[in-house]
Structure 1
Amino acid sequence: MVKTYFNDDKGLPDAQQLCFAKRTHAVPHGAGHRVVTPLHNLQPNPSAALPVTHLTEEAITAMSVPQLMRLRQDTPILRCGSNALLLTGHREVKEALEHPDLICTPPRQQGVDQSPELANLYDRLTNTKAAIEQTALQEAHLHCLHEQGVLLLQIASDVIRQQSTPQSSLDYSALIDCFVFTALCQFAGLPASEAPRYQAMLEGLTITEQTGDKATVESVVMFHADLQDWAAATMPEQQGLLAALQHRKLTPEQAADCALGVFVTGIQFTAAALKHLVATLGATPSLAQQLPNDSSTVIEEVLRLSPPQPMLKRAAAKSITLCGVEVEADTAVFLSLAAANRDPKVFSQPDQLQSRSASSDSLTFHDGTHRCASALLSFNMISALLTQLAADLTQAPAQPEG
């Protein structure tokens, strides 16, 4: 029996197995043959600087963390086809995050052509992230004012104290989604009454580049138009991101670009992070006890092991050299945060929660040139929520009457 690259029960389908040029075994495949290599025989193609695979983008994004970690053991940087790279090592991913010519790619909708209007929004967004981050520092506390936040704190406290999950995990997940979206609306300066309508509009939007349909694209464009109207009607003395951006003399259209970026990147990232954190704290009482003293380390360590966005996609704006490899313009570069955050070259016990010294090397909240526009806002929202949660957990439980 020939060992293929991933030979576990959750291995990739045959059509997506890795293929290499040397030291391979031919395996019958339909009328012809395909070529695969055992894991221990991984060898670079002599005609290329890196091993070459036939992994598709869908296969890359579907890979499990164990698969990515096994891949990293042999080569932390891998060429996928003729126009893509996959990076799994901590040093390689960090270098890519800090490279000024590796740019974020806008979400593409499967099965539809991306509208020029939507593409334009993401192109212009990269010019205004500084304003978003500065405003995020000033106004992240706004999320604590919502009824959803109070209810979420109560449920999270129960989960952690009882070391169990809520009766309805679906309701709990929906509550977090609603909480995050309402918080983002208030942060942007939109009326809270509009949050349910806008949340429904963007329900199909993801940041993973595989999902979405034409209706979602149209909803994003409509949402941007509404943001532009709100920005035009916002007075400088009002609170919120749209008002703060006026002080930077941005046009309503530019302000809407910024706010759209916060929603697009912040909704799923923050919601997924909160779900990971509450579930982990509920299952790890000793970790929950650290909250009052060092909530930042708890956040960074939990999300090091379970990054809300485990795979990032970048594109080379021009021909560059990355990790000693020549990369042509328009090459897609996939960065596995999940594998990089468990690199044993950096973390002595990569699969275990560690101290602050380890969490400081986490790439989940990376500080690269093209940092996620809402990463700082998400971290501040989560930190503020956990601070409130820690205060609640340290309160003595009420004594039963009688």
Structure 2
Amino acid sequence: MSGAAKSGFGAYPRLLREPGALTLGLYGVVGRFPIAMRSLGCLLLVAAISGSLAGAGVVAAAMLVSQGLASPVLGRLADRVGQRKVLLTTCLVHAVALSTLVIAIVLGAPLPLLVVAAIATGCASVSFTSFMRARWAALVEQGTLRTAYALESVLDETIFLLGPLLVTVLATAVHPAAGLVACVAFTTVGSIAVAAHTRSEPVVEPVPDGGGQRAIAVTGVQVLMVAYAGMGFLLGAVDVTMVAFAREQGTPGLGGVFLSLTAVGSLAAGAVFGAVDWRLPQERLLVATSTVLAIGAVPLAFAGSSPVMAGLAVVAGIAIAPGLIAGSTLLEALAPKGSLSEGFSWLSSAGALGIALGTGVGGWLAESGGFEAAAWAAVGGAVVAVVLSATGQPALRRRRPVEPGMAAREQ
């Protein structure tokens, strides 16, 4: 099939008509919902039971940090023994750990015990987004992969729009613990369903003597990790910018609206980006999208009213999903054979670290210099991504050798 035939918005229906594609997408949505629910659900439950926002923040942070550290380990394990075994094992441990955390919070257990349960939960939380991208690489041909990653980005943005709303409604209208109980159900059902989707199971490659090359050892992957960290820093600082601006305007409730509009911009741009048959190499697209990301964040520092900020929030989001799509496509070509789950997990962890740093630095700057200072910090994060993706072009062009059988598959 020609590249032209695969471009346009018709690329998405064609992708979903591929055998197993529609069910894989649906199962992945179920399994990923907790990504946008778990930490917020934890905050809401601890705050409702104990009344301590500080304690709630400690528990949520422990869960997020442990997940970021464990994700690459679980990804590498999946590359070695298969995703199916890892998904089935971790979903059981996750269910036990998160249930224990919920019970401990409700019973008023001391903070150290809550932290231990939160760490156990984080260590059993696989990077579902990373696993899904590795599965798409195993399911579809090379020419369709960019569309598959675009679909993943659109689904991610949709989940981050709906997940916080769902967990908040459950925690306030049903029971403070209902959001985390839903996370247990979503993770268990989604993990089992994806594990049973044998058509997309990545092949476990034989491990050569010495353990084989790790994804983290590839220079191009390292460049992508720093670029992703820069993008994550921008996202964290933009979140703070929106919230700080809303507070300074005397309308704190609009902070969430601005963040949702950023996600809308990213979602729409991601859908368009995946539908276009780009002629530029992916490494140059990464530079271009990172540059647009940096430029799009600059006007945030000059917003003078809520309607203006609403429009600028959409603009600030238009390069988020395209940048992540370009990075995902590059990683698939760079990572050593049989290490995709690990590679995507490293990118996920780098992005999460960047978000945490951007939120912390942006919050500190917003306290002392207002929302404008946080906005300029966001620009700085994007500039890091631009510089790394531009100076790292030689490493990003150094593709993994393509085997004859794979070359035939890509035709």
Q: Kindly name which structure, 1 or 2, has the bigger radius of gyration based on alpha carbons.
A: 1
User: Which structure exhibits the higher relative contact order, with contacts defined as CA atoms closer than 8 Å and separated by 6 or more residues?
Assistant: 2
More helix by share: 2
Assess same fold via TM > 0.5. no
TM-score if structure 2 supplies the norm length? 0.30
